[in-house]
Amino acid sequence: MSKKTVAADAMTQTVSANASSEAIITTHGLTKTYVKGKIETPALRGVNMEIPRGSFSCIIGPSGHGKSTLMHLVGGLDRASSGDVVIDGIKIADLNDNELSELRASKIGFVFQFFNLLQNLTALENVETAMMFNKNVPAKSKEQRARALELLKLVGLEDKAHAKPNELSGGQQQRVSIARSLANDPEILLMDEPTGNLDSKSEEEVLDQLLRIHATGKTIVIVTHNTEVSDRAEILYEVRDGKLSSVTKK
């Protein structure tokens, strides 16, 4: 598959992914400045980006240049200093905190470098907890349990449903966290260094599962330094000095 790289304009930072399908995530002039006392630290400097629906994308670039900040703003985990994030046609700056929480719960699944599993719960129970606020799946119901088992099966861990995190390998724990991120059937999965804590074998297991999930039509966006991960992506967004410097479509 051929690669096409688009250099971002130094003034406007307008970059398009040349998507063949509609964008499910769009940012317009996105900025973020962290303020501590009298010191202001710009993290993002006017990022315009489009992520096509159903794509598998990676955000790459040096450490400390704004990749994770961009992910947090796109996922509604933090508020931008200026500019807009639009998720599936919804401008998240217009939402109050409750509405934003509902959007995250229904539209977005999150996976992070650290698995953040509840140590006193089984794999099955960890996945079930993500459905607590899902109005379409009654809490502590047979439907909820069946959904959690289905997701563990999707990531190849149905035989570990009753194991607790300390009984699982790192790769298995991350696969449980992926199953949990899918609990409410989100259209988008946002992942920040999801293989950062894994050995090579576990990393390969997780990547295989992500490709299977992507094949179901999910939009996957991963922040990563790992070329083993970024080599699997369809689109690469490079962030440098808080700006989107290029987009490579494979």
* CATH architecture of the domain with residue range 4-249: 3-Layer(aba) Sandwich (3.40)
Percent of the chain at pLDDT exceeding 70: 88
- pLDDT, one tens digit per residue, over 37-82 is 889 999 999 999 999 999 999 999 998 899 999 999 999 999 999 9
- pLDDT, one tens digit per residue, over 178-215 is 999 999 889 999 999 888 888 888 888 888 888 989 99
Closest CA to 157 of 230, 208, 199: 208
pLDDT score of 18: 40
Q: Where are the domains of the chain?
A: 4-249
Distance CA 140, CA 160 (A): 20
- pLDDT, one tens digit per residue, over 131-164 is 876 666 656 678 888 999 999 998 889 999 999 9
Distance CA 146, CA 149 (A): 5
Is 98 buried (19+), middle (13-18) or exposed (0-12) by CB count in 10 A?
Answer: exposed
Average pLDDT, the chain: 87
Residue 206, SS3 per DSSP: helix
Q: Model-level pTM? A: 0.85
Kindly tell me the sign of the dihedral angle through the C-alpha atoms of 151, 50, 113, 126. Answer: negative
Residue 189, SS3 per DSSP: strand
pLDDT score of 6: 55
Residues 6+ apart with CB under 8 A from 240: 61, 62, 65
